[in-house]
Amino acid sequence: MSRLRQVEAHGVMEPTSLQRFIYVLEGRLEASGDTLSAGGFVYYPAGQGQPLRAASPARAAVIEKSYQPLNGFIAPRPFCGCESEVAPQPLLGDPTLEVRSLVPADASFDFAINTMTYQPGATLPMVEIHFMEHGLLMLSGGGIYRLGEHWYPVTAGDFIWMAPYCPQWFGALGKTPAKYLIYKDWNRHPVNEER
Amino acid sequence: MSRLRQVEAHGVMEPTSLQRFIYVLEGRLEASGDTLSAGGFVYYPAGQGQPLRAASPARAAVIEKSYQPLNGFIAPRPFCGCESEVAPQPLLGDPTLEVRSLVPADASFDFAINTMTYQPGATLPMVEIHFMEHGLLMLSGGGIYRLGEHWYPVTAGDFIWMAPYCPQWFGALGKTPAKYLIYKDWNRHPVNEER
């Protein structure tokens, strides 16, 4: 489940029993001693949630998911970070399309969260179809999102849920880069395991 | 009517009785003493056509139309030119979208022909709906053309005919500018006069 949360100054975001990933869009949130500002993120495993206190009016994207264990792997531990400290990777060698992975590449995690930044005119190199679902939040800029045979002009603030196997493609239009935050289920077998 | 013509070296494009605008895509065409290469163009009024001889294998976009006179204006005269000598105008002040008008702004002409060059990410600023029809030939680059509720990835060599009142929009995608040649009927009243 993905949602946007808005917290007033000194307000508190109470913990949940689900695993939770929080990405700060605006303002400042205090998380277990760290202060997160725009681009900051924090992860709490299932059953280890902590309250977050707003040091200023804040907005955050909140992603919650039932944890799906994997034999041979222990459950992940909490972590926090800042997107600006994550090295960007060009998608399939394309320097106009940068991916930042906010969740470690570790099979103990059953999901991945990336930001993707497109220079104007940059596009996904193909229409993708895959077993993962996506939750996507446009952070800045805009473009055209194609879902199956439907084409949607999208801009900052728009949210898209993509079902598994939904054909999908994006192209960035405008004079400034387009950027989104994207979640996917990951590291689990789509057939043999319960989603 | 718009069409692409391909002429072998020393081949001849015979004249027509209709008014005709020819835009050279590739190779060299000799037109009434002038040699036109890529980007060169020539116009012949109705009944004043001349043969064009290919000085090398050549390809050209050829636009032919019945001439619709206008009271108080004499019919236009032949002219030729080269696109690179036409000053680009930013569309509605947008420096990422340049228009070059290949036909003089003179109401004796019943049509207009422009090239439009989009930097990557540039778009028409709105979905347009108007009484003019269009013939459009993609010259280079690509992007998404929207016609009504249909969206088409387009690239160099694609041709689009747009009926009057067809909602239309374009956004340029890719790493190089997108450019097209576009015809419209022009300078005549769409209702009181015969199309």
What are A's interface residues with B at a Cβ cutoff of 8 A? Answer: 96, 119-123, 143-144, 146, 151, 171-175
Residues from B contacting A (CB-CB < 8 Å) are 96, 119-123, 143-144, 146, 151, 171-175
Nearest CA in chain A to B178: A121
Q: Say which residue, A32 or B51, is predicted with more confidence.
A: B51
Q: What are the chain B neighbours of A121 within 8 Å (beta carbons)? A: 119-121, 172-175
In sequence order, the β-bridge partners of residue A52 are A13, A31
Q: What is the DSSP letter of B165?
A: T
Cβ distance B27 to B56 under 8 Å?
A: yes
Nearest residue, CB atoms, B121 vs list A146, A151, A173: A173
Whole-number Å distance between alpha carbons of B59 and B163: 26
State which amino acid sits at residue B134.
H
Answer yes or no: is pLDDT of B133 > 80: yes
Residue A175, classed as helix, strand or coil, is coil
- The CA distance from B102 to B80, in Å, is 9
DSSP assigned state of A106: -
DSSP string for B94-131 = EEEEEEEE-S-S-TT-SEEEEEEEE-TT-B-SS-B--S
For B116-183, what is the HEC assignment?
Answer: EEECCCCECCCCECCCCCEEEEEEECEEEEEECCEEEEEECCCEEEECCCCCEEEEEECCCCEEEEEE
Residue B195 has pLDDT above 50, yes or no: no
Average pLDDT over residues B78-96: 97
* Tokens, residue A169: 């493609």
Query: Is the Cβ–Cβ distance between A100 and A23 less than 8 Å?
Result: no
The reported pLDDT for the residue numbered A195 is 46
What is the per-residue pLDDT across A48-82, written as a single tens digit (0 to 9) for each? 999 999 999 999 999 999 999 999 999 999 999 99
Flag whether pLDDT at B40 surpasses 70.
yes
Please report the pLDDT score of residue B191 as a whole number.
Answer: 74
The letter for the amino acid at A46 is A
Closest to B144 (Cβ–Cβ): which among A119, A171, A174?
A: A171
Count Cβ neighbours within 10 Å for each residue of A170-190 and write b for 16 or more, e otherwise.
Answer: bbbbbeebbbbbbbbbebbee
Percent of chain B exceeding pLDDT 90 equals 90
For the whole model, what pTM was predicted? 0.90
What ipTM, to 2 d.p.?
A: 0.85
Whether pLDDT at A6 is above 80: no
Which band of pLDDT confidence, cut at 50, 70 and 90, is reported for residue B10? confident
Residue B71 CB-density burial (10 A; 0-12 exposed, 13-18 middle, 19+ buried) = exposed
Residue A37 pLDDT greater than 50, yes or no: yes
Q: Quick one: which of A37, A27, A43, A41 has its CA closest to A86?
A: A41
Give the per-residue SS3 of A9-28.
Answer: CCCEECCCCCEEEEEEEECC
Considering only CB atoms, B121 lies closest to which of A146, A151, A172, namely A172
Mean pLDDT score of chain A, rounded to an integer? Answer: 93
Say what the alpha-carbon torsion angle A98, A153, A7, A45 is, to the nearest 10 degrees. Answer: -50
Q: What is the pLDDT of residues A109-162, one digit of tens each?
A: 999 999 999 999 999 999 999 999 999 999 999 999 999 999 999 999 999 999
The pLDDT of B84-98, averaged and rounded, is 97
pLDDT of residue B107 exceeding 90? yes
